[in-house]
């Protein structure tokens, strides 16, 4: 028996679940669903006999991997796989994958939705500002960054990008201006949209020194991870600079510390960037297809562990 378990504390849209189930059953595998689970014990129980696991931001710790005695593959239906314990996967012969690019447009659209809401003072009846003509810096020019660039261009923004892993030629070919350093990006752009992954190197890397380089009226848009922000530095900066705004698709650890900043911050209560029916279908179905292709053909194209 090959059981494919979809374990998502934050559920996919029903249409996505239906399509994932169809892919799994078409391959001759069993399908199981665990949604909105309240505690880890439910997940530990559900994975016991699963051969394959599809998750979102759900934490796949060593405890989960070790409880899943039949597990061969776990796919994070999404981009960032900082929620998977890759060493535990490797140690237990479990292949770990992500589905890069599948939910990127949804994340980019949310970044603009949040920027416009902030620029228009949360639609409170007062005069706001426009995005057209403003400079936006894309910090990490991957799948989401590319969509952010295209939307920004459509809105008439001047688009800059910094990414040490992407050539200046590639960035220029998209009509985007590459800059040589992260400091240059932050000092040039009133808006910065953050798309770096959460790794030991990037953790808390968005700190006071960097943020304080942003011009007057600076707005940081974070649809990446809260871990990359140095939260104490952000609070210090917002205390010192009454012009600075912070928008995040994830609540910070200490929400109450941001309360005094009034309309200069906005957080989604739950990570919402990839929460569209389209993104759920794209990422969920890609995950199911990757599982089928791995189990039947050994395809490890999207493997992220060693």
Which residues sit at the interface with ligand 3PG, rule CB under 6 A?
10, 56-57, 78-80, 103, 271, 273-275
Q: How far is the CB of 94 from ligand 3PG (least distance, A)?
A: 19
- Measured from the Cβ of residue 241, the count of other Cβ atoms closer than 10 Å reads 16
Task: CB nearer to ligand 3PG: give 4 or 157.
Answer: 4
Least Å from the CB of residue 6 to ligand 3PG: 12
Question: Any idea of the CA torsion for 15, 19, 21, 25, to the nearest 10 degrees?
Answer: 150
Nearer to ligand 3PG, 56 or 139 (CB): 56
In the complex, minimum distance from the CB of residue 27 to ligand 3PG, in angstroms, rounded to a whole number:
23
Cβ proximity to ligand 3PG, 134 vs 271, nearer residue: 271
Nearer of residues 108 and 235 to ligand 3PG, judged by Cβ: 108
Q: b/e per residue, 202-215, with b = 16+ CB within 10 A? A: beebbbeebbbbbe
Least Å distance between CB 168 and ligand 3PG?
26
By beta-carbon distance, which residue lies closest to ligand 3PG? 78
Least Å from the CB of residue 84 to ligand 3PG: 11
How far is Cα 202 from Cα 196, in angstroms, rounded to an integer?
A: 7
CB of 235 to ligand 3PG, least distance (A): 23
User: Which is closer to ligand 3PG, CB of 201 or CB of 256?
Assistant: 201
Closest CA to 159 of 134, 187, 128: 134
Q: What's the min distance (Å) between Cβ of 24 and ligand 3PG? A: 19
In the complex, what is the shortest distance from the CB of residue 98 to ligand 3PG, in angstroms, rounded to a whole number? 8
Q: Which is nearer to ligand 3PG, 59 or 264 (CB)?
A: 59
Which of 191, 187, 256 is closest to 223 using CA atoms?
191
Given the complex with ligand 3PG, which of 153 and 268 has the nearer CB atom? Answer: 268
Specify the residue, 222 or 275, whose C-beta has the smaller distance to ligand 3PG. Answer: 275
């Amino acid at each position: 028996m090959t059981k494919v378990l979809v374990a998502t504390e934050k559920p996919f849209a029903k249409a996505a679940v239906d399509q994932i189930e169809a892919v799994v059953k078409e391959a001759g595998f069993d399908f199981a669903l665990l949604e909105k689970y309240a505690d880890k014990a439910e997940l530990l129980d559900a994975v016991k006999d699963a051969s394959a696991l599809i998750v979102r931001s759900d934490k796949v710790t060593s405890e989960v991997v070790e409880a899943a005695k039949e597990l061969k593959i776990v796919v994070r239906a999404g981009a960032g796989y900082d929620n998977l314990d890759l060493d535990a996967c490797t140690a237990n012969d479990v292949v770990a994958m992500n589905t890069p690019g599948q939910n990127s447009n949804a994340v980019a659209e949310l970044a603009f939705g949040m920027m416009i809401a902030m620029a228009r003072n949360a639609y409170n009846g007062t005069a706001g500002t426009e995005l057209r003509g403003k400079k936006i810096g894309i910090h990490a020019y991957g799948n989401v960054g590319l969509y952010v660039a295209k939307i920004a261009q459509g809105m008439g923004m001047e688009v800059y990008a910094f990414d040490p892993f992407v050539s200046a030629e590639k960035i220029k070919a998209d009509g985007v201006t590459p800059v040589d350093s992260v400091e240059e990006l932050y000092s040039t752009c009133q808006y910065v949209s953050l798309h770096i992954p959460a790794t030991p190197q990037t953790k808390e890397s968005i700190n006071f020194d960097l943020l304080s380089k942003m011009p007057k009226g600076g707005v940081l848009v974070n649809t990446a991870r809260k871990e990359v922000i140095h939260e104490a530095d952000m609070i210090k900066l917002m205390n010192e600079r009454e012009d600075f705004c912070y928008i995040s698709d994830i609540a910070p650890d200490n929400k109450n510390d941001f309360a005094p900043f009034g309309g200069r911050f906005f957080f989604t209560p739950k990570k919402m960037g990839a929460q569209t029916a389209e993104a759920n279908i794209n990422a969920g179905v890609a995950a199911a297809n990757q599982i089928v292709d791995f189990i039947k053909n050994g395809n490890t194209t999207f493997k992220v562990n060693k």
